[in-house]
Structure 1
């Protein structure tokens, strides 16, 4: 059992919190009340950033003391929205939200994952007709191993998880968000994920 704080209680955060609780972890979900995120992060070993990506950097940077020495799992994508509310462009071109978080939080182990799929797939990868791929980006091998173990608790098989390397590789997976609006317009809001076919 791991003490986990989920920051963000929307569809993504709520879905992850429920699934990790079912897997036997002690999960706290932080809402928007003052101090809730700090209190949750302070007592957790692993913190999941499931806040809207456009404001994530500011929110997480404000928790620098609480996140010191912790693993921060970043599942958000920082984008500007188009007129239809779907992602239109990246907020950090030539970089990534994960890189910006790691720079702002040098004493925190940032690991990027689960950001290349619609949220239902995060906790039920076997729901798709073919195996999806979950990517890992981060500088600390032990932190990535801990996140790898969380993914297996969520139903991800070992062969479905690909470690891309350092945090800089997150700019590739974050750029994949630009596929999403086109796929949704073409096929509707049905679960999908990127998959590496071998």
Structure 2
């Protein structure tokens, strides 16, 4: 059992919290009430960032002490939205939210994952008609192994998980968010994920 704090109680955070609790982990969800995020992060082994990507950096830098020596799982994408509310551009072109977080929180082990799919797939990957891919980006091998095990608890088969390497590789998966609005406009708001076919 892992003690996990989920920062963000929207659709992404709530679904991850429910699935990880069902898998036997001790999960706390931090909402926007005063002190909720520091309190949750302080007692957790793993912290999941499910806050809106355009404000994640400021929110998490404010938790620098609480995140010291913790694993921070970043599932958010930092984007500039278009008039329809869908992602239109990257907030950190030439970089990524994960890289910004790691640079700002050097004593925290950041791992990027689960950011290349519709949120429903994060906790139910086997519901797709084809095998999806989950990617890992991060500098710490032990942290990535812990996250890999959490993904397994969420239903991800080991052959569906690809370790891309260091945190810099997160800029590639974060850029994939620019596919999303076009896919949604083309096929509707139905579950999908990027997949590496072999």
Q: Tell me, in whole angstroms, the C-alpha distance in 2 between the residues paired with 1:21 and 1:55.
A: 26
Find the counterpart in structure 2 of residue 148 from structure 1: 148
Deviation at 1:148, TM superposition (A): 0.1
* Unaligned segments of structure 2, at least 5 residues: none
Residue 121 of structure 2 corresponds to residue 160 of structure 1? no
The alpha-carbon deviation at position 137 of structure 1 amounts to 0.1
Distance in 2 between the 1:81 and 1:95 partners? 18
SS, match of residue 64 in structure 1: coil
- The number of equivalent residue pairs is 198
Report the TM-score when normalising by structure 1: 1.00
Give distance in 1, aligned partners of 2:38 and 2:187.
39
CA distance in 2, matches of 1:64, 1:77: 20
Per-residue deviation, 1:32:
0.1
Structure 1 runs of 4+ with >4 Å offset = none
TM-score, structure 2 normalization = 1.00
More helix by share: 1
* Match in the other structure for 2:44: 44
Give the match for residue 177 of structure 2: 177
1:11 aligns with 2:15: no
d(CA) in 2 for partners of 1:184, 1:11:
17
Provide the rounded CA distance (Å) in 1 between the counterparts of 2:25 and 2:3. Answer: 6
Q: Give 3-state SS (helix, strand or coil) of 2:129's partner.
A: coil
Matched, 1:106 2:94: no
Over the aligned positions, Cα root-mean-square deviation in angstroms equals 0.2
Post-superposition shift, 1:12?
Answer: 0.1
Partner of 2:92: 92
- CA–CA distance in structure 2, aligned partners of residues 134 and 61 of structure 1: 26
Unaligned runs of at least 5 residues, structure 1 = none
Deviation (angstroms), 1:150: 0.1
Structure 1 residue 153: Cα displacement: 0.1
Determine helix, strand or coil for the equivalent of 2:55.
helix
Q: Report the counterpart of residue 79 of structure 1 in structure 2.
A: 79
For 2:65, the equivalent position in structure 1 comes to 65
> SS at the partner of 1:65?
coil
| C-alpha deviation, 1:154, in angstroms | 0.1
- Deviation of 1:58 (Å): 0.2
